[in-house]
Amino acid sequence: MTVQGAILSPQMRDALEKWASHLSALDGAAANTVKAYTADVAGFLHFLALHRGGTEGLSVLAALPQADLRAWMAQERGRGISARSLARRLSAVKSFTRWAADRTGADATTVLSARFPKYKRKLPRPLTVDGARDMIETVADQAPQDWVAARDRAVVTLLYGCGLRISEALGLTGAAHPLPDVLRITGKGGKTRLVPVVPVAREAVAEYARACPYDLSPGEPLFRGVRGGPLNPRLIALVMEKARLQLGLPASATPHAMRHSFATHLLAAGGDLRAIQELLGHASLSTTQGYTAVDATRLMEVYEKAHPRA
């Protein structure tokens, strides 16, 4: 079997396919995640086959010396793979090895005890409160048609007002209109969460729905392109790019930055970190904790500017 250039033995091929099915069915991993993890593991197994002089079965994982694992990681770094990306690949390898060990009874301590490469987690890059408000208003100025302007404003308002991912906002159907007090959102990995809807978001979507020339029936996408098909997320990114240039905002002012802004501004207003984690749909609190670092950084910036110096 070849997966992006990786040659696998029949046993490894079968194991990899079963593991991918396990990720999808039992762990609820998203299709893109399963695809990426499968490619990561296939690449690792391909390296082992070349490094050890031939394709092997699952038993190779149990007897794998640290030297082989370090050699793989060194090769990946030598190819220009970042520490963050390598950490993801090692995570995939560990997940596959753990799954294989559970089924074969092998001792996979060597692989499972491998240390992740150190990398500095990137902090979210939110807009200011004024910047977020200006963005919502300015995206509407880019559209040649009134209903498209209302659509773009509604989408960006949902990103900021409810902390949705762009895929989640554009995944809404006509059944969501008029917006309820609480939206049930299915996010990454098929995980469902409840998100309160602020009045301004409800009003923005209602304005769009009144202006939209297409039938927003329950089974159809809520947000439409100019020809009536599902709205392409790239169009929202482009209209925000035009708006940020007009406003003089940084390149980080993307659709996802509106979600970052939602979380950061909630935290600055005294929001509970656990509650924000639930609203965002983060699986781990450590992901949400990144916003505390943003808040602390901004606090120090204000301090440096405002504190009197001798």
- Which residues are known to be catalytic? 165, 188, 256, 259, 282, 291
**Alpha-carbon distance 170 to 231, whole Å?**
7
Q: How many CA atoms lie within 13 A of 303 on its CB side?
A: 6
Cα–Cα nearest to 117, from 78, 151, 85, 87: 87
**Alpha-carbon distance 268 to 180, whole Å?**
26
For residue 281, what are its two tokens?
């749909």
DSSP state letter for 66: H
**Alpha-carbon distance 69 to 67, whole Å?**
5
Identify the bridge partners of residue 96 per DSSP, sorted by sequence position: none
**Alpha-carbon distance 195 to 164, whole Å?**
9
Interior CA angle at 59 toward 58 and 63, to 5°? 130
